């Protein structure tokens, strides 16, 4: 599910403005399993591998958010992320993500729905 689905143009712009545009190289790991949840990303281009205990559990592409589960649940990272090719992302600190949830209630709802779907709750 693309995180931007269902948002107004104004809401999409507010989400984009809250993050910092970053380009990540191929084979880069911006998130590591069992580390503090201090950042999240929205993938704008490229593909990432989600890995638990070194094994790939899924791949995610443009429009997906990564790193949100640990922030929402206030826990250590449950998986690692590795870029499979060059990736363009919007980077959010945990504080920026929480502020965005306050500023754009529909984003908070979408974020919580994504977490529930990924955890199978």
Give the Å distances, CA to CA, from 80 to 12, 13, 33, 75: 27, 28, 5, 14
Q: In this predicted structure, what is the pLDDT of residue 120?
A: 78
For residue 101, pLDDT over 80 is answered with yes
Residue 117: what pLDDT?
Answer: 87
Q: Which of 3, 1, 43 is nearest to 23 (CA)?
A: 43
For the chain, where are the E strands, in sequence order? 20-24, 39-45, 48-52, 55-60, 65-66, 80-83, 87-93
pLDDT, residue 121, reads: 54
Minimum mean pLDDT range among 58-62, 70-74, 77-81, 117-121: 117-121
Domain 9-119 falls in which CATH fold? Jelly Rolls (2.60.120)
Whole-prediction pTM = 0.89
The answer to whether residues 34 and 77 touch, using CB atoms and an 8 Å cutoff, is yes
The structural domains of the chain, with segments of one domain joined by +, span 9-119
């Amino acid at each position: 599910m693309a995180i931007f689905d269902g948002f107004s143009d104004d809401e999409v712009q507010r989400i984009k403005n809250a993050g910092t545009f970053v380009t990540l190289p191929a084979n880069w790991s911006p998130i590591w399993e069992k580390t503090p949840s201090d950042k999240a990303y929205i993938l704008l281009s490229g593909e990432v591998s989600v890995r638990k205990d070194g094994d790939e559990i899924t791949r995610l592409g443009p429009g997906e958010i990564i790193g949100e589960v640990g922030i929402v649940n206030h826990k250590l990272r449950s998986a690692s992320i590795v870029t499979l090719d060059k990736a363009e992302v919007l980077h959010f600190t945990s504080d920026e993500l929480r502020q965005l949830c306050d500023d754009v209630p529909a984003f908070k709802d979408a974020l919580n729905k994504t977490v529930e779907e990924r955890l199978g709750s």
